[in-house]
Amino acid sequence: MPMLAFRPLAAIANAVVFLLAGVAAAGPNVVLVRADGKALAEPGAGVARFSQAVAGPTVAADQAELLSGRHEFACGVSHVREGRNFVRPDATLLPEAFRRAGYRTALAGEWRLGSALPCRAVDRGFEETFGAEPDGALDGRWGVAAGSTAELRKREALRWLGERAGDRKPFFLAVDWPAGEPLAGLLRELDRLGLAGGTIVVAGGKPSADAAFPENTTAALAIRWPGRTDDGRTVEGLASWLDVAPTLAAACGLEFPAGDGIDLGPVLAGKAELPSGRKVFLHAGGWPGDDSPERHASQGFAVRDERWLLSGLEFFDLTKPAAERANEFESHAGLATAWLRDYGAWWRRVLPAVQEPVRAIVGDARQPVVRLTAADWWPSREVAQADGAAACRDQAALLGLLETLADPGKAAGQASVSGHWKLQVANEGHYRITLAKLPPEAGEAERKRLGTLRAGTVHLRAGKFELRSAVLENATAVTVGMDLPQGAVEFETWFDGQLPGERIVGAFFVGLERVGDRKLPDPASLIRPDAKKP
């Protein structure tokens, strides 16, 4: 599964460190930086580097690990999209803990852990976010080229930091660093201005955007902790991005639940070594849609410590040069088998968290209008073999699909494309629902060229109940009213008449807003429990 490079927030150098000085006395400020491997190649003096660090295999996985200190599966995150990148509400995240401790919090970077309540960055402890949607997201920045939000994030982060200089509260800032830009400029400026004493800087970077699992789980990790890392040493042994959250929580005196990571503070202080033989469990995830996780228990996994790597039935000695490594499962069968048992026990522990989907909440005052996109589709319940979220994973993919749908010749070979969302209706009632092929941000010319609908019917299915409404020729959106019951709902919307035959096209963008009480009685209430079948 390919990695995406972390792009945003260009050199904040002098401005950032100057503003950090204004709040240093109030408590330890924290800057958590996600970068690429090149940015961390020369991190500068006073920085502790970890010789072996491990991170999750996807951008959603590593963000979940950094912020929770728990394996991403334990947070409910098992994919980069399709609704299975939504972090569980019961997984405590760093920004939530910082907020409770009186910190100001902000995110200047991507947010990969859910775009609807209760999973948005603002739901999970970040007071403010700047460009938090992934580059190329289906909505929020429609029409903006991937990577072009770096300046926005930099400008807004600097503005936010300027405001913090006056309130003298400690703060937590999570930053995505520009691809390829060295971090050492920033750290030298902290030293030169005498501002290093009040700021903990943690930086993690992926070595390659193209490495395949499990190779891309190797990562860079560097920490500048004034008073702890002034010797700029390299820490030997196996560390993990899972360790970042418990380390920062301990350093800042936060109340934070124990997870899968360890506090690196004693190691950085020279009072302890990284534990020998520590096992870190990795799993690619990404299994198809509604497949039971149990079917994928032994697929795409790895277990490693500072010496060994188990992947399936292959067992490699990492102390040997890569060119000389061979599968040593048979020659170390006892050890490898014990590792397999350890993996099985770990899998059983995290399985419950990935079995139950995290549902987008609608009908809640905290988010009156909920916007759903096809990138969060689970597989279609209407057409079993329909193309799903992978066909709409980003703007480029969706635009290609829309071009196909707009061309009669190409459309003739297009399969049905649809999917469903897993919702939690907070309050039953009547909902205004708007359905379209393009988001409201799309320009008028683009909507007319790619977003027009042919005459047909729009279908909305909430569980067992379906509503149908006519679609007028050349309409670019359809708005209908529908009663939704309280509780868990499988929600799918689609248009017919857009493709030849009985093939269907899902509504790629849907907005829902509760506008009042039910218009009609709940059909379920009309069925007498004691009614006998004829």
Query: In this predicted structure, what is the pLDDT of residue 330?
Result: 96
The pLDDT score that the predictor gives to residue 418 is: 97
Question: Given CA atoms 479, 484, 488, 492 in this order, what sign does their dihedral have?
Answer: negative
Could you tell me the two tokens for 449?
């060229």
CA distance 517 to 426: 13
Which residue ranges of the chain lie beneath pLDDT 50?
1-25, 208-212, 533-534
Q: Report which DSSP code applies to 359.
A: P
Count of C-beta atoms within a 10 Å radius of residue 155: 15
Distance (Å, whole) CA 27 – CA 33 = 19
Tokens 């600097």 belong to which residue?
158
Of the candidates 268, 220, 218, the residue with the CA atom closest to the CA atom of residue 247: 268
Record: fold of 360-516: Jelly Rolls (2.60.120)
In this structure, what token pair is assigned to residue 342? Answer: 């350890």
288 HSE (CA, 13 A, CB side) = 9
Output the pLDDT for position 228.
83
Q: Which residue has the tokens 């990935």?
A: 354
pLDDT digits (tens, 9 = 90+) for 78-101: 998 888 999 999 999 999 999 999
Are the C-beta atoms of residues 125 and 107 closer than 8 Å to each other?
A: no
Chain Cα centroid distance, residue 451: 28
Q: Please give the distance of CA 477 from its chain centroid, rounded to a whole number.
A: 29
Q: How many residues does the chain have?
A: 534
The tally of CA atoms less than 13 A away on the side-chain side of residue 325 is 14
Token pair 């469990």: residue = 281
Classify domain 13-271 by CATH architecture: 3-Layer(aba) Sandwich (3.40)
Quote the pLDDT of residue 13. 36
Residue 474, classified by CB atoms within 10 Å of its CB into exposed (0-12), middle (13-18) or buried (19+), is exposed
Tens of pLDDT along 185-233?
A: 866 655 665 556 788 989 998 754 444 475 557 788 999 888 888 777 8
Position 57 scores a pLDDT of 87
Cβ-contact 11, 153 below 8 angstroms: no
Give the pTM. Answer: 0.88
pLDDT value, residue 58? 87
Q: Return d(Cα 173, Cα 105) in angstroms, integer.
A: 6
Tell me the C-alpha distance between 508 and 117, whole Å. 19
Residue entry with tokens 């930053």? 175
Measured at the CA of 201, the angle between CA 200 and CA 207, to 5 degrees, comes to 155
Reduce the DSSP state of residue 129 to 3 states and report it: strand
Give Cβ neighbours of residue 320 (< 8 Å, ≥ 6 apart): none
**What is the maximum alpha-carbon separation in the chain?**
87
What are the domain boundaries of the chain?
Answer: 13-271, 283-355, 360-516
DSSP 88: P
Q: What HEC string does 111-146 produce?
A: CCCCCCCCCCHHHHCCCEEECCCCCCCCCCCCCCCC
Crossing angle (nearest 10°) for helices 13-21 and 184-192: 40
Question: What's the rounded Cα separation, in Å, for the pair 25 and 534?
Answer: 78
* Strand 487-496, strand 505-506: pairing: antiparallel
